[in-house]
Chains A and B, each alone.
Chain A
Amino acid sequence: MKLLHTKLPDFMKKMYVAATAKYPEKTIQIRGLENLHNAKMQSLRTGRIEKAVEEMAEREDVASIDFVVLPRVPETMHTVAVKGLDSEGNVKKVVLEVINILHPTEEIEFGDCTDIEDHRPPIGLH
């Protein structure tokens, strides 16, 4: 079971290693995971993403990698927990609400680039 999902810190480390193991002068910046603290990352995709990072680092015209994680579906549904705490930090009351958040789609990351390889399976056919 250990291999089915990757721990978030391991995922981050894997990407740094994939980018810099062969080319220590190259750098990678990871964005989009800042708000995650407890997460298990899909292992099957983790390996493919490592491969993509490594191949990107191998390109002669690439000096650094900007690694961005953004919602595939640009509307995410979140639970909001409004918690009331007493003076000792014990939870005395919780109100649950929902908030749906709209996000930009991946096009905002492309700049003027037209060389875009899409490895993602179609939505619904994963």
Chain B
Amino acid sequence: MKYKMFPEGKIEDKMIPVNVIFMNVKDIAAAGMTQDEAIHEVAKRHMEPTAINIFDMDACTTTSDGLCIEGAIVRMGASDRGRVNPDFGILPMYEFSFDEKMLETERHLIQWKKLFPERKLFRGPDPSKKIIPIHNVVISGRASNNNSATEMMNIVTMDEVLYPIIGQLESQRDGELLVGWTGETMSVGIGMTVAEQFGRVFPHPQFKAGETAHNSGPYAKTLKQWIPCIVAAKQTMAKYIIRALDCGCVPGLDIGCSPLNLAVARALGREIAFDNIAESSWAELESVGITREWAEQSLNLSPEEVIERADELLPGVEDAKKYKAHELIQEY
């Protein structure tokens, strides 16, 4: 059974509180196992709290702020001391096939249509098929794998790591990763979602592009402020955001008004739906220095320049150190 793992432990002063295992549907099939059997099998090999994410690299998914990307988590698990809780330890994600009608309520899916409509789409689970009421989470003992497998916790020590989906994908492709603290800007950005059916965080469409799920004014920047995070390098983020903008997506209207999306649109001089961004969103953005006046100051850079200067232009992640994924990821 082949798999990769980001091991529990300290990366300098950041505590990663759980193992995070990445498995591939093709490797599981080659081993002649079901996905559930594969989760139980790797669980037995690791006694620490462990998140187990099964990927289909031929599928696609979305980020919480509306970027469409190749590769998706199709099933998530959690284990502790080798055990998987029989009721709450495994949860599959809902599978969508491309349907033009979805674009009526989910404008960001124009990226799916333009880029890879042949791919299946997976985001969160079907709420009617899960028994945990609210969170899209699996829990076994101390280990919690939350928000459709992008936010992992040791619930006993209460330590947490934020491991967004693009960071997880780059971890498996030997891309570049940043390990740092979330900081105020990322804390605000997490709330700038798009509305989705069976989404990564919310089961039904709730907070549209331009709105904030946090809706807590100056408190939003503190909600996820001091959490270790493992994220893709900013050059990678810039490429994905530019691609979304090239598909015609407008931050604040089609994709979320997260600081990252706004910063890239501003740098390129692309359209931003200023008037569709809610007052409550502006209050949170302004609390981290992102004002309408700032966002209106287009830099008119080329995509190549934005990617090259991504570390300078894209806000978020504090005290970050860059790694090649193979420096952090163990292969089994």
A→B interface (CB under 8 Å):
73-75, 77, 100, 102-108, 110, 123-124
Contact = CB atoms under 8 A, between A and B. Distances in A.
Interface string B137-150: 10111101010000
B30 interface: no
A108 to B, nearest CB: 5
Contact of B131 (A103, A106, A108, A123): A123
Contact of A108 (B89, B133, B135, B142): B142
Given A73-B133, A107-B83, 9 more contacts: A74-B88, A75-B139, A102-B155, A103-B139, A104-B141, A104-B144, A106-B85, A107-B85, A108-B156
Contacts of B88: 73-74, 105
Contacts of B141: 104-108
A77 B133 contact: yes
18 contacts: A73-B88, A74-B132, A75-B139, A102-B137, A102-B146, A102-B153, A102-B155, A103-B139, A104-B144, A104-B155, A105-B140, A107-B85, A107-B141, A108-B142, A108-B156, A110-B81, A110-B83, A123-B87
B142 A102 contact: no
B135 to A, nearest CB: 6
| B interface, size bucket | 20 to 34
Interface string B81-93: 1010101110000
Contacts, number: 57
B156 A104 contact: yes
B139 A74 contact: yes
A19 B156 CA distance: 28
B155 A100 contact: no
B133 A75 contact: yes
B196 interface: no
A108 B137 contact: no
A68 B153 CA distance: 22
B132 A107 contact: no
B132 A73 contact: yes
Given A107-B83, A107-B85, A100 B142 contact: no
Interface in B284-315: none
B155 A103 contact: yes
A102 B83 contact: no
A123 B85 CA distance: 13
Contacts of B81: 107, 110
